[in-house]
Amino acid sequence: MPLIEVRNLTKLFGGDVRAVDDVSLDIHPGETLGLVGESGSGKSTLGRLILRLIEPTSGSIRFEGRDLISLRRSELRRLRRDMQIIFQDPFASLDPRFRVEDIIAEPLMIHRGSDADNGPVTSRRPEISISARVSELLRAVGLDESARKRYPHEFSGGQRQRIGIARALALRPKFIVCDEPVSALDVSVGAQIVNLLAQLQRDFGLTYLFISHSMPVVRYLSTRIAVMYRGKIVELGATEQIVERPSHEYTRSLIGATPELSI
């Protein structure tokens, strides 16, 4: 059974601009579906629609068989523990007024008292404090304990993205939308983040929707690739099939235009 089922999803802006146009796809447990396309193709809008951060114009979204669009606010709030997002810009996505420990602890505080507070991301031990959870999350993303008392402006872009990843992991989600998480970073730092995401997926059994304009990055991380063009999915298939035997002209242009990335 797919973890995510999207059917005929459409989002109109301004009444007639089709940012997402009749998209249907499945995302299976434990896989990475790479969503690739140029800027303005609708990739990020689709990711936010799946999480119901924005509302669709029409269509359906199911998570583990549950219709997300019909859920009441309280039901959706509980389900958000299982669905998180890593944002594109590590400089804008962290509140500069908060220390790192507060940024990572915020989702734990919001969901305090729920079953998300029964153990850390790295185990099922009960009765662990939020402070101890923050320490485990910092270690999981490769940051030192000393980071917890510092502010975002004291870190590099790659370190800030690690903080954002720790925050996304805090509630032990099943599904994470990675919204161009390396596009604001230089190549070497971006490669480290991609490798970290791959390791975390293996360690915690995560499912990703990985959004990018870079075919080499998507090829490295993804189980399958969906190619998006002008709001539509124009090609969808296994990674090697898409990269080695693309059938759509737009896919071929993406592959030809993107320099190879060594990871």
Based on C-alpha coordinates, what's the Rg of the chain? 18
Give residue 256's pLDDT. Answer: 85
Q: What is the DSSP letter of 97?
A: T
**pLDDT tens sequence across 137-172:** 999 999 999 999 999 999 999 999 999 999 999 999
Map tokens 């999981």 to a residue.
Answer: 140
Residue ranges of the alpha helices (H) in the chain?
43-50, 73-79, 100-110, 130-140, 157-169, 187-204, 215-221, 239-244, 249-257
**pLDDT tens sequence across 49-72:** 999 999 999 999 999 999 999 998
Give residue 120's pLDDT. Answer: 42
Q: How confident is the model at residue 86 (pLDDT cuts 50, 70, 90)?
A: very high
Q: How confident is the model at residue 112 (pLDDT cuts 50, 70, 90)?
A: confident
Whether the per-residue pLDDT at 114 is higher than 60: the answer is: no
Whether the per-residue pLDDT at 205 is higher than 90: the answer is: yes
Q: What is the rounded CA–CA span in Å between residue 19 and residue 37?
A: 13
Give residue 238's pLDDT. Answer: 97
Q: What is the rounded CA–CA span in Å between residue 35 and residue 224?
A: 9
What global pTM score does this model have?
0.91
Sort strands 224-229 and 232-238 into parallel, antiparallel or unpaired.
antiparallel
